């Protein structure tokens, strides 16, 4: 994944935000909508593209466009930075490949300790019995 190439492919649109802001909200477009066309991106390989489309399929449109928005703050610049950061976090989650777990054998000492514990409990309960 080439971050610089992908950053150039991002397109932004500023729209009016809802919520707090008083009269400011009626005249300033602070909400930032990011869209990225995954299908035509030069910043990712074909394998990465299929991986993203599979793992994040509920985030993409039918055309393969990822749309994110941010209206957390009253500043358009801050919202743009927030949405870019969120976008790259989402990409890293979608492209993360977990290591395969190797099965390991239970250590001999652990098995031995468990057996000793069982024996101690057995003895404790045997001593509770009434002597005839």
Show the low-confidence residues of the chain (pLDDT under 70): 19-21
Q: What local confidence, expressed as pLDDT, does residue 18 receive?
A: 76
Beta bridge partners of 12: 34
Model pLDDT, residue 106 = 94
Question: Which pLDDT does position 13 carry in this prediction?
Answer: 92
| Residue-range domain boundaries for the chain | 3-95
pLDDT score, position 11: 93
- The CATH class for the domain spanning 3-95 reads alpha beta
Give the global pTM: 0.71
Per-residue model confidence (pLDDT) at position 21: 65
Residue 124, CB-side half-sphere exposure with 13 Å CA sphere: 6
């Amino acid at each position: 994944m080439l971050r610089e190439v992908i950053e150039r492919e991002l397109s932004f649109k500023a729209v009016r935000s809802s919520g707090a802001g008083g009269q400011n909200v009626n005249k300033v477009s602070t909400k930032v909508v990011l869209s990225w066309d995954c299908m035509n991106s030069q910043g990712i390989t074909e394998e990465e593209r299929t991986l993203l489309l599979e793992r994040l399929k509920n985030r993409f449109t039918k055309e393969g466009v990822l749309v994110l928005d941010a209206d957390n703050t009253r500043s358009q610049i801050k919202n743009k930075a927030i949405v870019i950061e969120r976008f790259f976090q989402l990409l890293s989650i979608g492209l993360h490949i977990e290591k395969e777990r190797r099965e390991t054998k239970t250590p001999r000492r652990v098995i031995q300790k468990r057996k000793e514990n069982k024996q101690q409990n057995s003895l404790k309960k045997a001593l509770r019995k009434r002597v005839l």
